[in-house]
């Protein structure tokens, strides 16, 4: 029923656009016959709105994957760069939280492991509450690189650091992902970092290893071991489904005889704050010098440029 409602809404948007275009064309004919400049100005403004709406509808056709309309799990992992990379992970977390707020999404931090001096070693968030969360964020997968004068270096030298961004669909209960209890190794341990005396003294943190694939997920945010276990399983379901989809895509690629370069794990975007200011996506060459706006969540241009480049081949 939800899928039917979504399809009805999508069809109605196209039908409404069609009617508006037809009405605008009729008014344009009348304005031309009467040589009415005032009416012509209004029609011109309407044409610009219609063009923008058409562009948006055509763009949404790109997001045709089975989970593109649904929620997403986004994880950030600090890579090479030590404390600098952990601080970069926090910068990216803020960027994605701001972007999500601007797009009307609701976010929830499911798990986090803070660095000793600053930032995060890893953090996982849920992005939901509005359509296209996974479709949009799938464009962000890969390694992000930061170049800047490090605030953690006494000599104030230029440092380069890296953060890996993972994005998987958040799998709802109506999608079957078979997880056998025999395939799971579950460890409990004391949570580290901030969290208060209760979290520190009790073994509430949970680590789950999926033995057949070697996938490891952990959660220590909640005070209850049961809650941490449920969240860890929630993340594991998304990762296992994503793994199944990747295997299927690889098989289809082999059957088609096409060569597709693997993007996962490769540097996709550079954020340069010194000696000049620029954010550049290395896959599309889309760039901007307004680094402040980007780190404040203005990344929709990067997302759209990448998705359009994918559909365009």
Q: Is the pLDDT of residue 95 over 50?
A: yes
**What's the DSSP call for residue 272?**
E
Rounded to whole angstroms, the Cα distance separating 122 from 163 reads 9
Q: What is the pLDDT of residues 29-68, one digit of tens each?
A: 888 888 777 788 888 889 999 998 998 888 778 887 888 8
Predicted model pTM: 0.73
pLDDT classification of 263: cutoffs 50, 70, 90: very low
Residue 262 phi/psi, 5° resolution?
-75, 125
Q: What is the pLDDT of residues 195-245, one digit of tens each?
A: 444 445 677 889 999 999 999 998 988 778 888 998 998 899 889 888 887
For residues 142, 147, 150, 155, the Cα torsion angle rounded to the nearest 10 degrees is 140
Rounded to whole angstroms, the Cα distance separating 191 from 248 reads 37
Domain ranges of the chain: 2-62, 72-175+263-311, 181-255
Of the ranges 2-16, 42-56, 247-261, 272-286, the best mean pLDDT one: 272-286
Say yes or no: do domains 72-175+263-311 and 181-255 share a fold.
no
Contact, 162 vs 85, CB < 8 A?
yes
Any idea which fold 181-255 has? Double Stranded RNA Binding Domain (3.30.160)
- In this structure, whether the domain defined by 72-175+263-311 belongs to CATH 3.30.70.1660 is answered with yes
**Whose structure tokens read 């962000």?**
140
* Sign of the C-alpha dihedral computed for residues 73, 77, 83 and 88 taken in this order: negative
Rounded to whole angstroms, the Cα distance separating 201 from 191 reads 8
């Amino acid at each position: 029923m939800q899928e039917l409602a979504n399809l009805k809404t999508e069809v109605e948007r196209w039908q409404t656009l069609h009617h508006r275009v037809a009405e605008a064309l009729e008014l344009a004919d009348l304005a031309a016959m009467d040589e009415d400049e005032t009416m012509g100005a209004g029609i011109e403004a309407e044409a610009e709105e219609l063009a923008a709406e058409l562009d948006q509808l055509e763009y949404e056709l790109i997001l045709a994957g089975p989970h593109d309309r649904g929620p997403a799990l986004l994880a950030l992992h600090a890579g090479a760069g030590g404390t600098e990379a952990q601080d970069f992970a926090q910068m990216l977390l803020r960027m994605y939280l701001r972007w999500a707020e601007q797009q009307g999404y609701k976010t929830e931090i499911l798990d986090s492991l803070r660095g000793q001096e600053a930032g995060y070693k890893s953090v996982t968030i849920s992005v939901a509450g509005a359509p296209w969360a996974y479709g949009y964020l799938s464009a962000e997968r890969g390694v992000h690189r930061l170049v800047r004068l490090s605030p953690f270096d006494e000599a104030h030298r230029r440092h380069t650091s890296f953060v890996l961004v993972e994005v998987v669909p958040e799998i709802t209960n109506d999608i079957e992902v078979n997880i056998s209890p025999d395939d799971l190794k579950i460890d409990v341990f004391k949570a580290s970092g901030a969290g208060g005396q209760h979290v520190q003294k009790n073994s509430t943190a949970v680590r789950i290893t999926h033995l057949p694939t070697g996938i490891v997920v952990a959660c220590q945010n909640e005070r209850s071991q049961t809650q941490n276990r449920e969240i860890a399983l929630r993340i594991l379901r998304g990762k296992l489904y994503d793994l199944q989809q990747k295997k299927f895509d690889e098989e289809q690629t082999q059957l088609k005889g096409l060569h597709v370069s693997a993007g996962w794990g490769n540097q996709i975007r550079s954020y340069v704050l010194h000696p000049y200011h620029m954010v550049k996506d290395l896959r599309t060459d889309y760039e901007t010098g307004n680094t402040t706006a980007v780190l404040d969540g203005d990344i929709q241009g990067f997302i759209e440029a990448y998705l359009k480049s994918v559909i365009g081949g």
